[in-house]
Copies of this chain bind each other. A is one copy, B any other.
Amino acid sequence: MQFKLSQRILKPDFQGEFTASILAAAASPDIISFAGGLPNPVSFPIPEMEAATQKVLETNGVIALQYSSTAGWPALRRWIAKRYETMGVYGVEADDIIVTNGSQQALAMIGAAMLDAGDKVLVEDPTYLVALQSFHVFDPVVVPVAINADGIDCEKLAEAVKANPDAKFMYVIPNFQNPTGLSYSQEVHDKVVEIFKGTNILLLEDNPYRELRFAGTATNSFGAELGEQCCMLGTFSKIVTPGMRIGWICVRNRELRAKLLGYKATADLHTNIFSQMVLAQYLADNDVDAHIEKTKALYKQKAEWMMACMRKYLPAGVTFTPTEGGMFLWATLPEGITAVELYRKGLEKGVAICPGDPFYETERNVRTFRINYSNSSDEVIEKGIRILGEVCEELLNQ
């Protein structure tokens, strides 16, 4: 049987083979995978979750298992709204929050609510590959803007905004960006605010890693200065659990909020209320900040260990930017080797990295690659980096 599919779904994946093969490699038990972005299980509060579940089912079982409202569980939305004060954003209300199936769903919702074919979207270059994929469903023109070690390239951003005043939104990840692990400096942050103020372009801020800073100082959320011009995405995936798929969008513009709610109702009625209530109970009964501190301490040690191994085992020509948080390092190969070569040869020797290519809208055969440190033991990190070093040498000597 050959069904007639939509043009949308028949478009070749502009990222080629990468996504599927990287996920497959990450799932294989025989491969040392630095390719994915899995949190370390130390960040999963299992016994606390068990206690929270028991409490929810015993006191509110009927509500937890019944249909619920599209916006999400009020107690959870209140917690999220309040949390914005730690990011310098005051006055957020529970009603500004829509709970989504991971922040990934919020990306799809914004795409659906804002993009017609041919509309322009600005993104960091490189950027989160599944965000790119999710925008491409709606056939926009994606305008990539280079990112530097201190955040988006403000000169290029100003040009891009000037050249595309009708852009619908810009997607940014200001803290420990995926894939680069880079963060916006205060200076870059302030310039970005200046560039966007007075335009009609929505700033879509994704912030999955901000809570994972183990050094330095975080900038505030862009919502502090840009108000309703900034929609803020968040997630519990990196601080409590990704398995429950609970993220959110903070949207203070009323018209947009109403449209997003309508779209979400059509897409899946509402997010799993049982898990929303369990999570809210967990947050009420536990010190989540202490829990995050534990995760951060581990990630700091892992990051430092991986950087030490990279300095020890990789050829001198391989450079990387030291990180202050998040889950990834971003490295650059010397001229003459591409990241895809390292990926393919590495895989043959049992080690997967994530080549930069699928994170770029247009560039291919790049020399940059992403490497994850959150979910491997110290032994595995050392072994994997040692093998990668050998592969680099081989490639250099070809």
Contacts and interface: CB of A to CB of B under 8 A. Distances in A.
17 contacts: A1-B200, A3-B114, A5-B113, A9-B114, A19-B265, A36-B67, A46-B61, A50-B54, A50-B57, A65-B243, A66-B241, A68-B243, A102-B269, A108-B267, A130-B269, A267-B267, A274-B275
B62 A46 contact: yes
Interface in A268-296: 268-275
Give the size range of A's interface with the partner: 35 or more
A112 B255 CA distance: 25
Interface of A: 1-9, 13, 19, 27, 36, 38-39, 41, 44, 46-47, 49-50, 53-54, 57-58, 61-69, 100-102, 104-105, 108, 112-116, 119, 130, 133-134, 137-138, 166, 168, 200, 202, 227-229, 237, 241-245, 253, 255-256, 259, 262-263, 265-275
Given A4-B168, A202-B3, A274 B61 contact: no
Residue with the greatest number of chain B CB neighbours at <10 A, chosen from A49, A255, A265, A266: A266
A242 B67 contact: yes
A13 B50 CA distance: 42
A137 B6 CA distance: 13
As for how many copies of this chain the complex holds, the number is 2
A267 B266 CA distance: 13
A102 B67 CA distance: 11
A39 B61 contact: no
A101 B256 CA distance: 23
A48 to B, nearest CB: 10
Contacts of A44: 61-62, 65-66
B41 A66 contact: yes
B267 A105 contact: yes
Nearest to A167: B4
Contact of A244 (B27, B53, B134, B274): B274
Contacts of A63: 243
A124 B3 CA distance: 21
A266 B4 contact: no
Smallest CB-CB A-B distances: 8 pairs: A46-B61, A65-B241, A44-B65, A101-B268, A65-B243, A105-B268, A243-B273, A41-B62
Contacts of A61: 44, 46, 49-50
Contacts of A58: 50
Contact of A4 (B54, B69, B166): B166
Nearest to A43: B65
A117 B268 CA distance: 22
Contacts of A241: 65-66, 274
Contacts of A112: 6, 8-9, 137
Contacts of A255: 2-3, 5
A5 B19 CA distance: 30
A243 B66 contact: yes
Nearest to A256: B3
Residue with the greatest number of chain B CB neighbours at <10 A, chosen from A53, A69, A253: A53
